[in-house]
Amino acid sequence: MKADFKVVDRIIESYGCKKNSLIQILQDVQEKYNYLPRKFVERVARKLGVSLSKAYAVATFYKAFSLNPRGENLIRVCMGTACHIKGAPEVVEEFSKILKIKPGETTEDLKYSLETVNCVGACAMAPVVVVNNEYYGNMTPGKVRDILKKKETRKG
Amino acid sequence: MKQILVCGGPGCLAKGSREVFEAFKRKIEQNKLHVELQLKETGCQGLCQKGPLVTVKPGNLLYTEVKSEDVGEILDKIIKSDSNYDRALKKDEISFYKYQTKIALRNVGEIDPENISDYIERGGYEALKKTLHEMTPEEVIDTVEKSGLRGRGGGGFPTGKKWRYCRNADGPVRYVICNGDEGDPGAFMDRSIMEGDPHSVIEGMVIGAYAVGSRQGYIYVREEYPFAVKRLKKAIEDSRKMGFLGKNIAGSGFDFDIEINRGGGAFVCGESTALMRSIEGNVGEPRAKYIHSVERGLWDMPTVLNNVETWANIPPIINKGWEWYLSFGTKTSPGTKAFSLVGKVKNTGLIEVPMGTTLRDIIFKIGGGMIEGRSFKAVQTGGPSGGCLPAEKLDLQVDFDQLTKEGSMMGSGGMIVMDDRTCMVDVARYFVNFLLDESCGKCVPCREGLKRMSEIMGRITHGLGSEKDLEVLEEICWTMKEASLCALGKSAPNPVLSTIKFFREEYLKHINEKTCPSGVCKHLTTYYIDENICKGCHVCVKVCPTGAISGEIKQPHFIEEDKCIKCGSCFDACKFNAVQIRGMKIDD
Ligand SMILES: Cc1cc2nc3c(=O)[nH]c(=O)nc-3n(C[C@H](O)[C@H](O)[C@H](O)COP(=O)(O)O)c2cc1C
Ligand code: SF4
Ligand code: FES
């Protein structure tokens, strides 16, 4: 715990403890822990001298932040226009069906989180799915199982 | 020396171009070919659909759909300079490239973006030196103003004018900002520039900063683009080392530096005032337009904010002069525009054409027409602020004013082609829901208007709509246009109004006949098999995930309606077009 606070403090200091770096600091904390543990949001707020309400306003306004733990694998299904008209809704549905979670949720074993995003900038390959930082283009519901299988075998 | 350029753009990466690059690298090392071959990974080479792409210079030969297994053979041909090799396409002759003119994208796909010498070799940072050593700030602004350059981020505001206002505003410090938020879903031009030619943005910003008298700049990049952040960071470091950023730039006595800010995944933060609030570390809410950002922008100081592509256009304008720039494009919109051409066309990818090029030329000449067997229905431009234009408008000459006149928008340059399997009501509903999700909620017309619109669109797509709903929709639209605080709310009605205007029939089919002729709105779609056409080939039975189709081989098949989940797999699979959607054909 103490060690964790040290990590967070170091991030805060790397931005010179400036109030206007609030978003950047929270981004770095999230990158480190995969989500924003509440105690760290509070720590950041106190150290920067911004009110808790402002820190939470920022942490909840921006979609990139998650106040809940996220899974080991982050599956992001693009729901941008190009992907939408090429069948992205069916792709999300298939992920939902197999993982038994809705977009925005995490599986109980903390293995997978499913999210939808508005365009990842690979629209020419629509529909696109990004798993962690790997891009999968021309997705179909049929390919969903293949991706998940690949993740399983890589772990084992 | 021969160059092998492997595309590392987003599309090609998704298709495995990194493995192709590694394969080339291994082979070149094994055979000790360094002396005669130079291998590079570039930004987006454009024709994403046919990726992974590899270009070989000299000759500008293009290899498409390259796999790592092909690398040996291709290398062999390259070394022998075999120009008869049928896999090598002459880039300058194929229609996808032939009709393009590249200014903003001049280096994207041509250079290694992580190598500043590549940029310099192609004339990079010459404009910066010319500006700082030979021109006064007034002269720079003059040149940009006379070039007629209009902002590429959507609104099309004259860039020179913006700079002049900022220069003339009172304030102890001034800021310049690059808007790399690219929120328009279905667009990736800005991403391609930031990743494929980051120095062009930096050089443009230094020139702009000198013109308005700023010493600090910011690049705001959307959070979905971690790669762009990495490239920009490297580029900033390198240009600092070379003396193009930082103190006493190029020995001129002018100081300027750039910081990068990552966005937080909020569409509204692409709006200029919201973006500034976000850089300040706040929630990104827009503010009223009567306070001008050029006078009171970031931290209430005079600020110039321009889009990525706008900045990338600056160096060539300075180098070649405003007269040169005016020779491209139309009278009111000079120059070129980058588009991401996506959707149901054959050649999806990144393109740049002179303003005034017709939609038809873009979609059918460059884009190669519709994907096989499908017919053109509409093209969407301008993202959630834009509209859908039907086939009758294909001869429209694309520029800021022509698109606005038809109720659409230039936007940032997403161009999404739709076919007869795209439901226009669903598209309008998609944008309404997108904006409902992204509205910051600060003002009532936008927050409540979108909510009501979403409910109505939901009703219509579920077969519960009435004609009265269309009237109400239009009324909400006009109210939002009048009364919303920022352009998100003001332009939100465009997708709805333009589809009602051009595709009213389709709305009426949903409302009166309770059918979705494109087979998208599931509640209103019925698939059936035309027994006169069906050959009984059984393909549909194999693809149906729920076993809803049955029939003997060589006998007409049929679909059990209560088992059908309307996924459309059979429709796509049938080679004889025997699977049909009720309402799609006129005579149904
Ligand atoms: C809701 C909304 C989203 C916007 N998103 C972007 C964006 O992603 N990128 C962009 O360059 N401009 C965006 N704009 C336009 C900017 O507000 C601004 O006009 C533009 O960046 C100015 O640069 P320019 O003059 O070079 O076009 C958006 C505007 C609105 C209202
Ligand atoms: S129009 Fe919408 S996005 Fe803009 S300020 Fe109002 S609520 Fe926010
Ligand atoms: S719309 Fe999906 S990647 Fe752009």
Nearest CA in chain B to A19: B281
Question: What pLDDT is attached to residue B86?
Answer: 78
For residue B284, the ligand closest to its alpha carbon is: 2
Q: What angle do CA B76, B1, B313 make, to 5 degrees?
A: 115
pLDDT greater than 70 at residue B345: yes
pLDDT greater than 90 at residue B103: yes
Matching residue, tokens 């903003």: B104
Residues 61-120 of A with CB under 8 A from B: 61-65, 79-86, 90, 117-120
Query: Looking at residue B53, what DSSP letter applies?
Result: P
For residue B263, the ligand closest to its alpha carbon is: 1
pLDDT greater than 60 at residue B306: yes
Instruction: Find, among B8, B412, B11, B393, the residue nearest to B179 by Cα.
Output: B412
Instruction: Find, among B375, B531, B422, B373, the residue nearest to B363 by Cα.
Output: B375
Burial A115-148, CB ≥16 within 10 A → b, else e? bbbbbbbbbbbbbbbbbeeebbbebebebbeebb
Mean pLDDT over each residue of chain B, to the nearest integer: 94
Centre of ligand 1 from the C-alpha of residue B154, in Å: 6
Pick from B277, B436, B440, B477 the residue to mutate for probing ligand 2's pocket: most ligand atoms within 8 Å of its CB. B440
Range from A72-76, B85-89, B151-155, B399-403 carrying the lowest mean pLDDT: B85-89
Instruction: Find, among B268, B298, B260, the residue nearest to A62 by Cα.
Output: B268
Alpha helices in B170-214, H assignment, sequence order: 189-196, 198-212
| Ligand 3 nearest-atom number relative to CA A119 | 4
pLDDT single digits (tens) B266-291: 999 999 999 999 999 999 999 988 88
Question: Across the interface, do B284 and A120 touch by the CB < 8 Å criterion?
Answer: no
- List of domains in chain B: 2-93 (3.40.30.10), 116-325 (3.40.50.11540), 336-419 (3.10.20.600), 424-513 (1.20.1440.230), 526-581 (3.30.70.20)
Centre of ligand 3 from the C-alpha of residue B326, in Å: 33
Other residues' Cβ atoms within 10 Å of the Cβ of residue B226: 13
pLDDT greater than 90 at residue A1: no
Note whether B352 and B334 are within 8 A (CB). no
Q: How confident is the model at residue B78 (pLDDT cuts 50, 70, 90)?
A: confident
**B154 by DSSP, 3-state: which?**
coil
The alpha carbon of residue A67 is apart from the nearest alpha carbon of chain B, in Å, by 14
Distance of CA B529 to the CA centre of its chain: 38
CA dihedral angle for residue B492, residue B493, residue B496, residue B497, rounded to 10 degrees: -150
Using a CB–CB cutoff of 8 Å, tell me whether B183 touches chain A: yes
For chain B, percent of residues with pLDDT exceeding 70: 99
Q: Return the amino acid letter for B543.
A: V
For residue B36, what are the contacts with CB-CB under 8 A and spacing of at least 6?
Answer: B1, B2, B79
Question: What pLDDT is attached to residue B585?
Answer: 62
| Ligand 2 nearest-atom number relative to CA B444 | 7
Contacts of B183 in chain A (CB under 8 A): 118-119
B581 or B425, which is more confident? B425
Extract the tokens encoding B528.
């059936």
Extract the tokens encoding B448.
């409540």
Question: What pLDDT is attached to residue B154?
Answer: 84
Question: What pLDDT is attached to residue B155?
Answer: 85
Question: Across the interface, do B264 and A65 touch by the CB < 8 Å criterion?
Answer: yes
Write the ipTM. Answer: 0.93
Question: What pLDDT is attached to residue B568?
Answer: 84
pLDDT greater than 90 at residue B34: no
pLDDT single digits (tens) A12-42: 999 998 999 999 999 999 999 989 999 999 9
Note whether B485 and B446 are within 8 A (CB). yes
Mean pLDDT over each residue of chain A, to the nearest integer: 92
Q: Residues lining ligand 1, CB < 6 A? A: B 151-155, 157, 179, 181-183, 268, 270-272, 305-307, 310, 412, 486-488
Q: What angle do CA B227, B232, B235 make, to 5 degrees?
A: 130
Q: Residues lining ligand 3, CB < 6 A? A: A 78, 80-83, 119-123, 126, 128; B 185-186
Using a CB–CB cutoff of 8 Å, tell me whether A126 touches chain B: yes
Q: Within 13 Å of residue A71, how many CA atoms lie on the same side as its CB? A: 22
pTM: 0.94
Region at B426 (left for phi over 0; alpha for psi -120 to 50; beta for the rest): alpha
Centre of ligand 1 from the C-alpha of residue A116, in Å: 23
Question: What pLDDT is attached to residue B565?
Answer: 85
Note whether A62 and A24 are within 8 A (CB). no
Helical pair A141-155 and A88-99, crossing angle rounded to 10 deg: 40
Instruction: Find, among B259, B272, B397, the residue nearest to B329 by Cα.
Output: B397
Residue B397, φ and ψ in degrees, nearest 5: -90, 115
Question: What pLDDT is attached to residue B587?
Answer: 44
Question: What pLDDT is attached to residue A156?
Answer: 42
A96 or B288, which is more confident? A96
Q: Please give the Cα distance from B30 to B71 (Å, whole number).
A: 13
Task: Give the mean pLDDT of A35-62.
Answer: 95
Q: How confident is the model at residue A127 (pLDDT cuts 50, 70, 90)?
A: very high
For residue A21, what are the contacts with CB-CB under 8 A and spacing of at least 6?
Answer: A15, A48, B281
Task: Give the mean pLDDT of A112-138.
Answer: 93
| Ligand 2 nearest-atom number relative to CA B439 | 3
Question: Across the interface, do B266 and A136 touch by the CB < 8 Å criterion?
Answer: no
